[in-house]
Amino acid sequence: MEHIVIIGNGISGVTLARHIRKLSDKKITIVSAETDYFFSRTALMYVYMGHMKFEHTQPYENWFWEKNRINLKKGYVENIHTNSKTLQFADGDTLQYDKLVIATGSKPNKFGWPGQDLEGVMGMYHKQDLDNLEKHAPNKDVCKRAVIVGGGLIGIELAEMLNSRSIPVTFLVRESSFWNGVLPEGESAMINRHIKNHHIDLRLSTNLKEIKSDENGKVKSVIIEETGEELECNVVGLTAGVSPNIDFIKDSAIETGRGVKVNRFLETNIADVYAIGDCAEQHEAIGNRRPIEAVWYTGRMMGETLAQTICGNRIEYKPGHWFNSAKFMDIEYQTYGWVFAKSRENEAHFHWKHQDDTKCITVAYHKDSNEFLGINTFGIRMRHEIFDKWLTEKRDVDYVMNHLSDANFDPEFYSKFENDILSAYNNQLQTA
């Protein structure tokens, strides 16, 4: 029986294993150094905030794996010998495979800041990071202040986490406005205000220079690049993005760039070795996507796709329309299609914001053809299915604006804003 070995028990590896099991009887082993069972990384924050316990982040009960004949092996893979098709574990163990899938995810970026390896400095990616945070920031007495470096999605989650335990947070963001490499100006500005409303000390256009240590090798303070100001703190969270977790592969014959290089079939340069999820890097970006897509949904889609290939139906990874979502403290965000921070050539944005400053949308469309290109929505839930359909049908922006209520996904009895939005849209057209 063919033995499929998957390194990494995250969403991509687990989705792959589930689908292979549905399609075939192959022997499947999932290897991970992090936890015994698959858990949802996206839910780590809720464990620290006390909304859930760690076990609730596990999407499948423990019996699931045995019932579906998916072997789980805990261990850290140190080397891959592609000639002999063998994995070498840190504890000396080895494992033979017929086909190997690398799904090792990401690790937090560290940019060589002085003091970045001190005690109390941590990323927020792995379960171990969560345990570490629990140790260094159990409450506001032990952790008098935390400094977060890097204004992305994980940074704001970490800020919300610490805030839930009343730990004062200083949030250093390199950009002039929160996540404005992705979000258009109006939205980014609204999130800035929302962060401050939560009493978080948000410092825009601010870089970290150095992390200082106390006599025991623990964090004592950070120094700010621009002002030289020293901020006392007990915890430093490094959340300046992630990069593929593939250092252990660098010595093998498998081609790597920033990530494990793959073609559209998710195959690496070595036969029978594949890569999916956060750690895979496309030779060429697909459409507007990035070569490395480090999000939950794409990991899942790659898993769904590769299962077909491994089970004999070789197909390309061909993702549909882009979508994503996140939550900024209390404000939910969804996006469908492409809305860029700055509209590209021939593109225009329509922006609407509610006066309560917690809801807004931005619609991107083509200036000449009026084709609807994408929408960002804050504080209003929208239907994935409808936008996917409109994007496929290449609807024009007027159509979309006039039918926005079809796409509303807010709970029943919520106030509706479609009329407001539409009249703002019509006004803008008249003045433009």
Identify residues 279-338 at the interface with ligand FAD (CB under 6 A). 294-297, 299, 326
Residue 35: both structure tokens together: 């936890």
In sequence order, the β-bridge partners of residue 358 are: none
CB of 282 to other proteins, least distance (A): 15
398 is in the binding site of which of other proteins, ligand FAD, none (Cβ under 5 to 8 A by kind)?
none
Strands 106-108 and 208-213 come out as unpaired
d(CA 120, CA 143): 10
Report the candidate in 53, 13, 60, 7 with the shortest Cα–Cα distance to residue 33: 7
Q: Determine the residue type at 154.
A: I
- Does the protein bind other proteins through residue 142 (CB under 8 A)? no
Residue of closest CB approach to ligand FAD = 105
- Looking at the Cβ atoms of 97 and 338, the one nearer to other proteins is 338
27 is in the binding site of which of other proteins, ligand FAD, none (Cβ under 5 to 8 A by kind)?
none
- Does the protein bind ligand FAD through residue 48 (CB under 6 A)? no
Q: How far apart are the first and last CA of the chain?
A: 66
For 17, 28, 29, 30, 69, the CA distances from 66, given in Å and listed in that order, are 13, 11, 11, 12, 5
Q: How many residues does the chain have?
A: 432
CB of 285 to other proteins, least distance (A): 17
- Binding residue (CB under 8 A) for other proteins from 61, 226, 229, 251: 61
- Does the protein bind ligand FAD through residue 358 (CB under 6 A)? no
Give the per-residue contact string, 58-77, with ligand FAD (x = CB under 6 A; - = no): ------------------xx
403-423 per-residue burial string, b: 16 or more CB within 10 A, e: under 16 = ebeebbeeeeeeeebbeebbe
**Count of CB atoms situated within 10 Å of the CB of 219:** 24
- Does the protein bind other proteins through residue 55 (CB under 8 A)? yes
- State the sign of the Cα–Cα–Cα–Cα dihedral 217, 220, 222, 228: negative
Q: Which spans of this chain sit near other proteins (rule: CB under 8 A)?
A: 11, 19, 22, 40, 42-43, 46-47, 49-59, 61, 63, 134, 164, 166, 197-198, 296-297, 300-301, 304-305, 308, 315-321, 323, 325-327, 329-330, 332, 334, 358, 381-385, 388, 392, 409-415
Q: Which spans of this chain sit near ligand FAD (rule: CB under 6 A)?
A: 7-13, 31-34, 41-42, 44-45, 76-77, 103-106, 124-126, 154, 157, 245, 248, 277-278, 294-297, 299, 326
